[in-house]
Amino acid sequence: MASPAVGPSRTSTPTPHAAQRDDKHLDIAGLSPSFLTDLHNECECQVCFQLFHEPVTSPCGHSFCRQCLARSYDHSDKCPLCRADLPPLAYFRWQRPNIALTKIIETALPQQAAERAATVKEEELALLASVPVFVCTTAWPGIKCFLHIFEPRYRLMVRRVLETPERSFGMVLPLRSAGPDAVNEYGTMLRVTSCQMLEDGRLILETIGTYRFRLLERSMVDGYNVGKVERVDDVSPEQEAELERVALARNDTLQDEYADPEPVGPDSVPLSRPPMTGNVELSTDQLMQICLDFLTTLRASSAPWIIERLNRTVGEVPNNPHDFSWFAAEVFPVEDHVKVTLLQITSVRERLRLIVFWIEQFRSSWWYSRGCAFRFLFLRLTLLTPLRCTGNIA
């Protein structure tokens, strides 16, 4: 019986793709616990001292978690380990994670890697549950606000804000008479429309107010405030019309409910309920016209460069009472700690009445009666600096 022919033996060479498949299923059962412990220690970020998450490697050869390296830029643009100069932060923002480190961690330390990823996810969800709160200055719905961010804690806050779909954070004014950590209860939500990152990590933001809020709870995360907020909206147009109708119907029976106002200067305006103009209730359109006439008088007596800069900073004068009330809030040179009261008023008419009250105070002041209209707008111009430097407060 003829034996079957035996052909030459052939050995197959694994393809690169097959090698990659084998690498993904490496058998780590033979690795000793002490080796895995040493490996875990070698794969720890030297900023957070936890297992690498999305590790990136700097030109000097040191690796860090992507977010940890970004946070180190808030303090210095040098390597946290060797102090070598690092490229701008944008260099790492789009850099892919270190493939070799990622593969080693996912293969040899799968459980620890999964736990680390879950922890990062929980932290991100916790941040999304609260609104970042910037304690700095006043801002208004529909009005642009320019900010210069240089403090490390607020750089971190802005970076996190920019990673969210809303790109928004709250702005509140500190309370100067209630302790260093006290803030106003009402603020404005700002949406970032433009962000310029400078080489040293500072940020130039252009934002716009979207809506008002009431701060219900407040806590600290990584040095900055976060909180739970409740949106504040104006009453409906129907309610606004009814409020105006009732007020105008009282013109025949008005009583003097207000004390004589105290004379004030540009830096001190008493915070009280506004009196009726000439003991007569005015319509919303009439209140707005008083404000417009006052602004027209000031513009006519001011230098063209001041008017141009105001227009460039806050835009043209709106033609509807709602938007105009916030425009006037930004332009009028009343102290922020007084103007912030407007944020809790939910009636356009009542906001305009308060602004008209301020106008009456200006007109009765000695510095205005002597023709210091130029000084009025110059003061407002100094308050409306194109970039509000942040980081000195709270």
Same domain for 242 and 362, yes or no, is yes
Same domain for 245 and 340, yes or no, is yes
Same domain for 305 and 348, yes or no, is yes
Is 249 inside any structural domain? yes
Is 24 inside any structural domain? no
Is 389 inside any structural domain? no
Residue 280: DSSP 8-state: B
CATH code for the domain of 84: 3.30.40.10
Same domain for 249 and 366, yes or no, is yes
Query: Of all helices (H) and strands (E), which one includes residue 171?
Result: strand 168-172
Name the domain boundary from 121, 143, 160: 121
Same domain for 241 and 380, yes or no, is yes
Same domain for 44 and 115, yes or no, is yes
Is 6 inside any structural domain? no
Print pLDDT tens along the chain (394 aa).
Answer: 444 444 444 444 444 444 444 444 555 666 788 888 889 999 999 999 999 999 999 999 999 999 899 888 888 889 999 999 999 877 887 788 999 999 999 999 999 999 999 998 888 777 667 899 999 999 999 999 999 999 999 999 999 999 888 999 999 999 877 677 889 999 999 999 999 988 888 899 999 999 999 999 999 988 999 999 999 999 998 999 998 888 888 765 554 454 444 444 444 444 445 544 555 688 899 999 999 888 887 777 665 655 666 666 677 788 899 999 999 998 887 889 999 999 999 999 999 999 999 888 887 765 555 555 545 554 454 444 445 555 444 4
- DSSP H stretches of helix in the chain: 16-24, 33-42, 66-72, 90-93, 99-108, 110-129, 152-162, 237-249, 284-300, 304-314, 321-331, 336-339, 348-363, 366-369, 373-383
Regarding pTM above 0.75, the answer is no
Are 134 and 390 in contact, with CB atoms under 8 Å apart? yes
Q: Is 61 left (phi over 0), alpha (psi -120 to 50) or beta?
A: left
Name the domain boundary from 104, 121, 138: 121
Same domain for 141 and 93, yes or no, is no
Is 313 inside any structural domain? yes
Residues with Cβ within 8 Å of residue 299, at least 6 apart in sequence: 307, 377
Residue 264: DSSP 8-state: -
Tokens standing for residue 99: 């493939």
Same domain for 378 and 300, yes or no, is yes
Tokens standing for residue 212: 């008002």
Same domain for 304 and 243, yes or no, is yes
Instruction: Return the sign of the alpha-carbon dihedral for residues 99, 104, 106, 112.
Output: negative
If one counts the domains in the chain, the total is: 3
What residues pair up with 145 in beta bridges, in sequence order? 207
In whole angstroms, how far apart are CA 360 and each of 221, 260, 342, 345?
44, 12, 17, 20
Is 23 inside any structural domain? no
Same domain for 161 and 105, yes or no, is no
Is 183 inside any structural domain? yes
As a whole number of angstroms, the distance between CA 214 and CA 263 comes to 32
Same domain for 245 and 370, yes or no, is yes
Same domain for 145 and 75, yes or no, is no
Domain that holds residue 343: 237-253+271-384
Residues with Cβ within 8 Å of residue 99, at least 6 apart in sequence: none
Is 265 inside any structural domain? no
CA atoms within 13 A on the CB side of 278: 7
